[in-house]
Homo-oligomer: A and B are copies of this chain.
Amino acid sequence: MPEKVFASIITIGDELLIGQVIDTNSAWIAGELNQIGILLKHRIAVGDQAGDIRAALDAESKRASIVILTGGLGPTADDITKPVLCEYFGGQLVTHEPTLRHIEMIFQQVLKRPMIERNIRQADVPDVCTVLLNERGTAPGMLFKKDEVWYVSLPGVPHEMKWLMKEKVLPLLQDHFDTGVILHRTLLTAGVGESFLAEMIADIENSLPAHIKLAYLPNYGMVRLRLSGWGTEKETLEKDIFHHFNLLKERVANYLITDEDIPLEKAVGQLLKKNNATVTTAESCTGGYIAHLLTSHAGSSAYYKGSIICYDNQIKTKLLGVTETSLQEHGAVSASTVEQMAAAARLLMEADYAIAVSGIMGPDGATAEKPVGLVWMAVATARGVKSQEMRFRFDRKRNIELTAAHTLRLLHEAIVDNK
């Protein structure tokens, strides 16, 4: 009979504690564990200190059956995970011949430079672990078992960690643990606040069975709703979640952007593809960010052709024919300018839709009439051009992100209206 199986993640490295690096590994690992029915209980970041690593191992082994460690396996002196684990599990370091041959191969064929002593030492592993050969790098993964708990040590380099998880760790976990099933279903709404949404769906939320939880995830002026459930049987759980998810979908239909757990720009891309339509962007203040979002997903060439990034006003005039009158009388951040940008880009790029943005993202560039956060955005379609003003009040990064999100929502609306 499957039981709830819990895992903890320990990330190791001073860089995680001084704010130099954002930990993207943990979220990815959590998602993969969920896929095979393993629940994440805890996630801990500790510095490059032997005592802190040992304390975390002690603490997490009491909470979880699986402890996944990342980081601290490199060739330099600040990488201490391997000796700490070796001592913790009472082993001795010995050379792992397949790893040594693999490292030699990397230096000969890929890096094309001689190996030095500290590269050879990367092939040393505690004799009490199962080695997980790392075909993507020089630091091997390691699996330790003690008192029913499994400990997996992986390099912190994301693509090496991901390869080892997919190819080695997840299959081993799946074979050993009888885990049950975890399912999530997520939908994305726009145009309605978190509190109102909660009122609107209160009866559905209150009627959820104990094994299904509802979460609200607000961001960029939109709210994601997520149902999560755990069960012993996949089909039963799927039926349960599906039932409640459909109730939610019906209830929020007027605000629904997508019923998949995908970013807004991917939902927009799918909608464009379904409609056999293409889009282009003319970006001033977002400097290519919207184009980047649209092209960050595989298959984007089906609906995206290209963009004009016209940061400088001279480029707005030269490539998109924005009139000097518009720039002088209304300014670069105006309805008139973005409407001309969108209309011209649509024709130039021979696209069905064009979006255009111009604004002041900060911290510089504000004037008495035009504060930081002021943005004009336009959407051009075969039926004409529409524009809208927004005022954000955040830092440069978030102003750029919000501008992109709002413009993509306008585009989404225009495509839906056009149907």
Residues of A within 8 A of B (CB): 13-24, 26-34, 39-48, 52, 59, 74-78, 111, 113, 116, 118-119, 157-159, 182, 184, 186, 193-196, 198-199, 205, 213-218, 226, 228, 261, 281, 283, 286-292, 294-301, 304-312, 314-315, 319, 348-350, 362-365, 394-398, 400
Point out the residues of chain B lying under 8 angstroms from A158, CB to CB.
Answer: 398
Q: Are A217 and B21 in contact (CB under 8 A)?
A: yes
Cβ–Cβ contact A195 & B116, under 8 A: yes
Contact across chains for A46 and B52 when beta carbons are under 8 A apart: no
Task: Say yes or no: B21 contacts A27, CB within 8 Å.
Answer: yes
Residues of B within 8 A of A116 (CB): 195-196, 199
Are A292 and B300 in contact, with the CB atoms below 8 A?
no
> Is the Cβ of A23 less than 8 Å from the Cβ of B26?
yes
* Other A-B pairs, 11, CB within 8 Å; known A78-B215, A159-B395, A288-B291: A15-B217, A17-B30, A18-B31, A22-B24, A23-B23, A118-B199, A119-B195, A281-B288, A287-B294, A305-B314, A306-B310
Contact of A216 with B19 at beta-carbon distance under 8 Å, contacts A45-B42, A118-B199, A296-B397 already known: no
List of B residues within 8 angstroms of A48 by Cβ: 215
Question: With A42-B45, A78-B215, A196-B116 as given contacts, are A288 and B295 in contact (CB-CB < 8 Å)?
Answer: yes
Alpha-carbon distance A379/B198, docked complex (angstroms): 53
Complex Cα–Cα for A261 and B215 (A): 37
Please pick, from B44, B157, B295, the residue contacting A44 in the complex, using a CB distance under 8 A. Answer: B44
Q: Known contacts being A20-B186, A20-B226, A43-B17, is A292 close to B294, with CB within 8 Å?
A: no
A-B residue pairs in contact (CB < 8 Å), sample of 25: A13-B215, A14-B213, A15-B226, A19-B28, A20-B27, A20-B184, A21-B27, A22-B23, A23-B26, A44-B44, A77-B198, A77-B214, A78-B214, A78-B216, A118-B198, A159-B395, A159-B398, A287-B304, A288-B289, A288-B291, A289-B292, A300-B311, A301-B312, A306-B312, A314-B350
In the complex, residue of chain B having the shortest beta-carbon distance to the beta carbon of A402? B159
Give the chain B neighbours of A157 by CB distance below 8 A.
218
In this complex, what residue of B is CB-closest to A291? B288
Nearest residue (CB) in B for A400 is B296
| Complex contacts, A39 vs chain B, CB 8 Å | 17
What DSSP secondary structure best describes chain A's contact surface? Answer: mixed
Centre residue among A16, A76, A184 by max chain B CB count within 10 A? A76
Residues of B within 8 A of A218 (CB): 74, 157
Chain B residues closer than 8 Å to A75, beta-carbon distance: 194-195, 198
**10 A-B pairs closest in CB distance:** A287-B295, A19-B31, A288-B288, A288-B291, A19-B30, A43-B45, A307-B309, A306-B315, A17-B40, A305-B312
Copies of this chain present = 2
Residues in B with CB closer than 8 Å to A34 are 18-19
A41 touching B52, Cβ below 8 Å: yes
Q: Is the CB of A287 within 8 A of B291?
A: yes
Partner pick for A111 among B59, B193, B314, CB 8 A cutoff: B193
Q: Are B30 and A18 in contact (CB-based, < 8 A)?
A: yes
CB nearest to A223 among chain B residues: B76
A308 in contact with B311 given A74-B194, A74-B216, A118-B195 (CB within 8 Å): no
Q: Are B27 and A23 in contact (CB under 8 A)?
A: yes
A295–B310 CA distance with the chains assembled, in angstroms: 11
Among A17, A44, A78, A311, the one with the most B-chain Cβ atoms within 10 Å of its Cβ is: A17
CB atoms of B20 and A22 under 8 A apart: no
State A144–B71 Cα separation when bound (angstroms). Answer: 34
Q: How far apart are the CA atoms of A75 and B218 in the complex, in Å?
A: 11
Whole-angstrom distance between the alpha carbons of A291 and B310 in the complex? 11
Query: Nearest CB to that of A121 among chain B residues?
Result: B195
Task: Give the residues in chain B near A296, CB-CB below 8 Å.
Answer: 287, 289, 396-397, 400
Beyond A75-B195, A199-B116, is A304–B311 a contact (Cβ under 8 Å)?
yes
